[in-house]
Chain A
Amino acid sequence: MIKPLAFALLACGLHAAEPTAAFFDTHCIDCHDADTHKGNLDLSALKQNFSDAENFAKWVKIHDLIESGEMPPKKKTRPPAADVSAVTRWLNTTLIKAEHLDAAGRTGVRRLTRSEYENTVRDLFDLPGIALQAGLPADGSAHGFDNNSDALDISHVNLARYIEAADKTLDMAIATRPTAPGSAIVRLSLARNYEPDIMLMQGDAILLRDKKIDPVFPPAGEYGHVNQGAHEQLGIFDRMSSVGVFRHEDESWNAYFRHFAALYPGRYRVRASFWSFQWDQGKILPSRGTEAARLSVVQFNDNGRGGQHPSYVLGYYDAPSLESKIHSLDVWLNFKESLGFNVASLAHVMLYRVGTWGQKDRTMGFTGPCIANDWVEIEGPLNDVWPPSSHTLLFGDLPLTEFKGARPPVRKLLKQEVIGAKNKPEPDKDIWTVEAKEPLAAADRLLAHFLPKAFRRPVGAEVRQQYVAQVDARLKAGDCFETAMRWVYRAALCSPDFLYHIEPADKLDDQALAARLSYFLWNSAPDAELLQHPRDFHTQVERLLKDPKSQRFIDDFLGQWLKLRAIGANDPDKKLYPEFSPYMQDSMVAETRAYFRELIEQNLDAGNLVQSDFAMLNEKLAVHYGISGVSGPAIRRVALPKDCARGGFLTQAAVLKVTANGTTTSPVVRGAFVMARLLGKPPEPPPPNIPAVEPDVQGATTIRELLDKHRADASCASCHAKIDPPGFAMESYDVIGGFRDRYRSLHEKGDPAPRGSIDPKIPISFKLGPKVDASGQFADERKFNGIADFKTMLAADKHTLLHNLAQQLVIYATGRDIAFSDRADLNDIVARTEKQGGGIRTLLHEIILSPLFQTR
């Protein structure tokens, strides 16, 4: 039934004289009246209640669909351009006015995220490795990011954890001894550690001296070595022999340097010597290239027994052929932390023979690559000054003296808790603490120094006096000076001034601006220079980006924008993707991060988001991508061959992995990812009653065939016409980002699969299934033949790519979604960037100069 909309609009408060009334009446009401209400939109009932978020969003959608020309649909008569312009102009003005009336769009009060909290504490106290994040409740997420004010609620759980985190921080920050703990150099051999002992006995590792087999301990052959304890008693593993390891770490075995477990949290210098070789049943030959040795920091649980302790990767290091290479790195170690080692670039092999399982004749029957560790040296803790700067921040130059009073500060007895660790604490016979002759005057002076740094803005005397009054109360209650001060420092670290981004209502003041800038590019508090010159934008942005702390921005932003945080969300099916390894996964993430860094440093344009003539690769990824000439684990810029379809985020393995489920790929998931993350056009959520398309895990039927059936339903077709094309193009890549022209299959009818670049030591059981069809057609009917074609078309629309990136960065930088009224400013950022060549570094500058950034 067709009825005049003007009447209905009058009924719902929309004035008939407004340009929308006639426009809707002529072009829209046929499909969007009470009876038909296509797309669940009934214009006759739609009210102008803009204070209602849902209603407002509907009007925004109407505006966008008319402005983009998507509505009225192509099969209908096109409205005159002037009418379209009039309607969208009116809607634009009305919506902006409504938004301003509602004061929506301004950044709400928001607390620090977990990572912001940790980084802020690290920088404030100069404790760059203190681990606090894991102890805090997980943050929510809104509009794609966890630093969004809509997501950052706070509860009593948060507060309890903040108190714990503050205590942990103060424990580490306050010096409790008059002199620094002595620094020592400990040289560790992998041989003298419980797990490697076992592997040496059974043949998964060998002892080496001077690049030859250690004659004292021949490699295991038909028989393994017997009686590990006897070997240990004779000191066979104590001779600082090099250890060649064949076995990759797994669920039951990790190589840890257990003879050392840090007692004093702090900076340590680590040196490690690695090399590699090809083992051929007793012969040591040149290796196939530079292998990758991994070092990680291991946090021992309890007394350190068992395996699978929490750890994080320090890096992957060159192990050249038959030549030891010494790597040096500065690390932070917390209490009970040590190092772990893994033969990252080697395939999983098991030389340990139990019955018929494992390698016959163990090591002596094996031919394959091996990575050797000569030694690892740990030097530290390294303290340039004592007391450390964390202590000085809290207590200035007050002297540390032996405590003689009645109620001493609490001290936990330090002892080595890890079984097997040889380093022991230095004896602390007496209790040392800071002494203040005029405690309240000292407290006032110390707080005047500390509070502005912690709160990231000047702190008035009246606020400071409240803290001093608490010190006074604690002293009167019998606490010593350190305990009383600790009480107020803990209070400060749990106060809203520390936990929240404090921003004025409209234009940001200098402090808020400095904080917004530093939390954007450093994920942390501003330093003194930024607080001093926050409006020297160009210089400051360049300085912040140049600082290593800007890596936090890259990691945090990409972790959310491109979902890199989800890289480990699933483990690829081991039968279908046996070549996958943790090293490959870490390389994937490193590639994407390095690529984004390169885009910023080289100020490359947004076309590079999807297409480029280079990639950031190491050997692992280069082999995975079928690109030759890259050796070793270091990520570097590599020019891509002309016929290579790689280059840009869409064909990076990390992006391809986070958009797959570990077994199969779905054009819907990947298509939705591209639309939302790269084009800024997130698809509508699926209707509630439509079942998801379940891929055939056996690989007999392609996802395209299944989707074709799904799209036969008209209600699905319109959305899938937009979602599926990018996903179809990305079908050329499997769940771990490997190129494919046929699907891998576990179906018995598949064809035998060639090994390709898969390590010869990795057994293959998958087969080749149906062919991949990566062709498709955009919603506007442009066709593409495959991924390269698709990327070329996408890269041609640099404006859309740049606009989306600008939008994502603004949301991230300001902690709020882009409001309707922000669109003009956002467009302005993009236009100014484009005028200067469209570089991404330029975009960052323009964002920071914009009213969006400089206004709350």
Chain B
Amino acid sequence: MKHLLLLSSLIALHLHADESKHRIIGLSEPSREQDLREQVKTMPEVELAALNFNTAEVTFRYDVAKLIPNYNPKHPPKTEAITRHLEDLLRAASNGTFTLQPLSTLPADKLQKLEIQCGLLDCKGCRYGAYITIAKLDGVERATVNESALLTAWIDPTKTNREDLEAALKKGRVELKTP
């Protein structure tokens, strides 16, 4: 019960019972919005209700009765089961390039913005590769990358810092442009 309450606070369910909002990892650059839209179309019984690139938040709409296999109205699935199912569908549709996370609980004014200039990231794969290296780090709430190879991350400074991010990038063989 305790866990359920905690999750409920992290996942803000939409007013409509069959919508859910999540933080999403994988939106490395604006063109990835379109990728996500196309991939969600291939997810059975799910629609993309809203997508905010700036906050990296996504809202899915669905009929839970159709979404969940062997749905039993007498024993409706718990919220985390629905999230887990959505996560599985999204992974399958995107070959694992999009994943869901609980919504951020950190107030915006507590986030620290970091910019890291990389050597050259002239292809989408490289940009995504550099992005994902830091986007999954604990303490990184959101990140983006642009065609000028500038990585931008919003971090929880109590959990991580620039050095951690740069170390992770170097380990991932992403060359950094030193001033």
Residues of A within 8 A of B (CB): 216-218, 221-227, 229-231, 233-236
Contacts and interface: CB of A to CB of B under 8 A. Distances in A.
B90 interface: no
Given A230-B129, A235-B95, A216 B122 contact: no
Interface in B105-129: 119-126, 128-129
Interface band, chain B: 20 to 34
Interface stretch (B9-17, B51-59, B81-89, B169-177): B169-177
B95 to A, nearest CB: 5
8 contacts: A223-B175, A225-B123, A229-B129, A230-B97, A230-B128, A230-B132, A231-B126, A236-B124
A222 B172 contact: no
Interface string B24-61: 00000000000000000000000000000000000000
Given A223-B175, A226-B173, A231 B129 contact: yes
Contact of A217 (B120, B123, B173): B123
Contacts of A235: 95
A236 B173 CA distance: 19
Nearest to B95: A233
B152 interface: no
Contacts of A227: 125-126, 128-130, 132-133, 172-174
Given A225-B129, A227-B172, 16 more contacts: A222-B119, A223-B119, A223-B120, A225-B123, A225-B125, A226-B126, A226-B130, A226-B172, A227-B126, A227-B130, A229-B129, A230-B125, A230-B126, A231-B126, A233-B97, A233-B128
Nearest to A237: B125
Contacts, number: 59
B96 interface: yes
Nearest to B125: A231
Contacts of B120: 221-223
Nearest to B130: A226
Interface string B151-179: 00000000000000000000011110000
Contacts of B129: 225-227, 229-231
Contacts of B121: 226
Contact of B122 (A218, A229, A233): A218
A319 to B, nearest CB: 26
A233 B126 CA distance: 11
Contacts of A236: 123-125
B133 A234 contact: no
The 7 closest A-B pairs by CB, nearest first: A227-B129, A230-B129, A231-B125, A223-B120, A236-B125, A223-B119, A226-B129
Nearest to A224: B173
A217 B128 CA distance: 13
A221 B129 CA distance: 17
A61 to B, nearest CB: 73
A360 to B, nearest CB: 15
A114 B174 CA distance: 55
Main secondary structure of the interface of B (DSSP, over half): loop
A222 B120 CA distance: 8
A358 to B, nearest CB: 15
A218 B127 CA distance: 13
A226 B95 contact: no
The CB with the most chain A CB atoms within 10 A, among B96, B119, B129, B130, is that of B129
A238 to B, nearest CB: 9
Nearest to A207: B123
Contacts of A218: 122-123
A641 to B, nearest CB: 51
A789 B175 CA distance: 65
A236 B175 CA distance: 21
A216 B127 CA distance: 12
A217, A233, A235, A236: most-surrounded residue (chain B CB, <10 A): A233
Nearest to B169: A226
Contact of B123 (A216, A222, A233): A216
A224 B123 CA distance: 11
A44 to B, nearest CB: 86
Contacts of A217: 123, 125
Contacts of B96: 233
Nearest to A234: B125
Contacts of A222: 119-120
A234 B32 CA distance: 10
Most buried by B among A216, A222, A233, A234: A234
A229 B123 CA distance: 14
A225 B124 CA distance: 10
A229 B173 CA distance: 13
Contacts of B175: 223, 226
Nearest to B174: A226
Contacts of B172: 226-227
B127 to A, nearest CB: 9
A224 B173 CA distance: 9
A409 B129 CA distance: 52
B176 to A, nearest CB: 11
Nearest to A228: B129
B67 to A, nearest CB: 25
Interface in B125-150: 125-126, 128-130, 132-133
A355 to B, nearest CB: 13
A217 B129 CA distance: 13
Nearest to B133: A227
Q: Which of B125, B126, B174, B175: most chain A CB closer than 10 A? A: B125
A856 B111 CA distance: 97
A123 to B, nearest CB: 48
Nearest to B96: A233
A420 to B, nearest CB: 16
Contact of B97 (A221, A223, A225, A234): A234
Contacts of A231: 123, 125-126, 129
A3 to B, nearest CB: 91
B26 to A, nearest CB: 10
A216 B130 CA distance: 16
A224 B125 CA distance: 12
Contact of B128 (A221, A223, A224, A234): A234
B61 to A, nearest CB: 26
A229 B120 CA distance: 18
A235 B96 CA distance: 11
A234 B124 contact: yes
B118 to A, nearest CB: 9
Question: Which residue among A221, A223, A224 has the maximum number of chain B CB atoms within 10 Å of its CB?
Answer: A223
Contacts of B132: 227, 230
Contacts of B173: 224, 226-227
A235 B95 CA distance: 8
B146 to A, nearest CB: 16
Contacts of A225: 123, 125-126, 129
A217 B95 CA distance: 19
Nearest to B149: A223
Contacts of A234: 95, 97, 124-125, 128
Nearest to A231: B125
A227 B97 CA distance: 13
Contacts of B174: 226-227
Contacts of A221: 120
A281 to B, nearest CB: 15
A218 B120 CA distance: 11
A460 to B, nearest CB: 67
Nearest to B28: A230
Nearest to A221: B120
A217 B126 CA distance: 9
A19 B3 CA distance: 119
A740 B108 CA distance: 79
Contacts of A216: 123-124
A231 B97 CA distance: 10
A233 B127 CA distance: 13
A503 B9 CA distance: 93
B116 to A, nearest CB: 14
A341 to B, nearest CB: 23
A234 B96 CA distance: 9
A815 to B, nearest CB: 62
A682 to B, nearest CB: 62
